[in-house]
Amino acid sequence: MIVFQEASRWYGQIIGLNDVTCTIPTGVTALLGLNGAGKSTMLRMITGQIRATTGTVSVYGQTPFANPEVYKLIGYCPEIDNFYEHMNGFQFVEHLGRLAGYGKTEARERSRRMIERVGMADRAHKKIAGYSKGMRQRVKLAQAMIHDPQAVLLDEPLNGLDPVGRREFMQLLQTFSEDGKTILVSSHILFEVEQMTSNIVLLHRGRLLATGNIGVIRELIDKYPHRIRIATTQAREVATQLAGLPYISNISFERDGLEIQTREPDKFYDYLPSLAVQHGLPIDGFSSPDNNLESVFRYLVTN
């Protein structure tokens, strides 16, 4: 469990993180925000590279700054694309395994396992200098996981990866999360994060905007009605039925159906089946354009 308690971090006169209080639970959590939002600062505070200027950060009950006990529990995959370029992937992972306290044999065995797990077994003995971006990300992940940590922190791990690489990397993270680890992934690419998790920590200009399940967060934004698109060939009939409902605030027609706005989406979803069953209206499909991170982010950041 990672806990921030009124934590702030200043870089001279610039604020990196502003009075953040939140808890990072087990499972995959996405740390979201635009560039400069404070994501890397937050990760550096968790990994004990920097201290909170005010407030506290606690990782499994301990203060992380320069604390080896914390480093036994966490693995960190930094955003930087810098390595000991003269080493090959295996040597790099093994070297950091040795620095994690393992003997030569143990470090080698763990490196072999991790390299295999991240899908680098056939390329591990090539010089890192010749690696592609995707290969470098995998090697970074392997070094972060070599000591089997309880929590893994990944700073913008999908940056620079091609679509295939991103999908593979996300699948890889999913397998780690299935092992019961806490995985905190920072990103500014909302679409990708959405495919990994629904649990988010949203930062903007150093401030914590929202934390928790994206759906729940969306419901909390009651300032904006929830939009739901209904695909139907009988849009007028469906609109007639919906117009009388007290929780529908707006109905607009679209090319292949209609879009409604409601402040009580749960009630609407309860009612929706009856449109088809009781009134015999054809419902070809429905979707909520608001139920994605992009819109949550837009609502929270721009307002």
Partner 1 sequence: MEAYIFSAALRDMLRPKRLIPWMIVVVLIAVVGAQASNYFEGATAVQKYGLLSSMFVFRLVALASAVFSTAVIAQEVEQKTVVYLLTRPVRRWKILLFRTLASITAVIIICVLCQLCFGALVLGPSKMFGATFLPDLEAIVLGAAAYGGFFVFISLIANKATTICLLYAFGAETMFSNTPGSLIYGSIFGHMSGLAQHPSLPDGNGGALKLLAGSMGDNPIVPSTAVPAMILIAAVFMGIGCFWFSEFEYLPREDAE
- The footprint of partner 1 (CB under 8 A) covers 11, 14, 16, 36, 38, 40-41, 44, 47-51, 66, 68-69, 71-72, 74, 76, 78, 80, 82-84, 86, 95-96, 98-101, 143, 147
Q: Are 227 and 290 in contact (CB under 8 A)?
A: yes
CB nearer to partner 1: pick between 47 and 197: 47
Q: How far is the CB of 182 from partner 1 (least distance, A)?
A: 16
CB nearer to partner 1: pick between 144 and 173: 144
**Which amino acid makes up residue 253?**
F
CB nearer to partner 1: pick between 44 and 110: 44
Q: How far is the CB of 34 from partner 1 (least distance, A)?
A: 11
Q: How far is the CB of 213 from partner 1 (least distance, A)?
A: 27
Q: How far is the CB of 94 from partner 1 (least distance, A)?
A: 10
Q: How far is the CB of 101 from partner 1 (least distance, A)?
A: 6
Q: Are 47 and 80 in contact (CB under 8 A)?
A: no
CB nearer to partner 1: pick between 86 and 279: 86
Handedness of CA 91, 96, 101, 107 (dihedral sign): negative
Q: How far is the CB of 288 from partner 1 (least distance, A)?
A: 34
CB nearer to partner 1: pick between 98 and 117: 98
CB nearer to partner 1: pick between 56 and 234: 56
Handedness of CA 87, 90, 92, 94 (dihedral sign): negative
Distance CA 264, CA 276 (A): 20
Q: Left if phi > 0, otherwise alpha if psi is -120 to 50, otherwise beta: which for 253?
A: beta
The residues that bridge with 28 in the sheet, in sequence order, are 183
Backbone angles phi, psi at 126, to 5 degrees: -95, 155
CB atoms within 10 A of CB 44: 20
Q: Are 99 and 176 in contact (CB under 8 A)?
A: no
Backbone angles phi, psi at 258, to 5 degrees: -150, 165
CB nearer to partner 1: pick between 16 and 225: 16
Q: How far is the CB of 210 from partner 1 (least distance, A)?
A: 20
Distance CA 203, CA 236 (A): 42
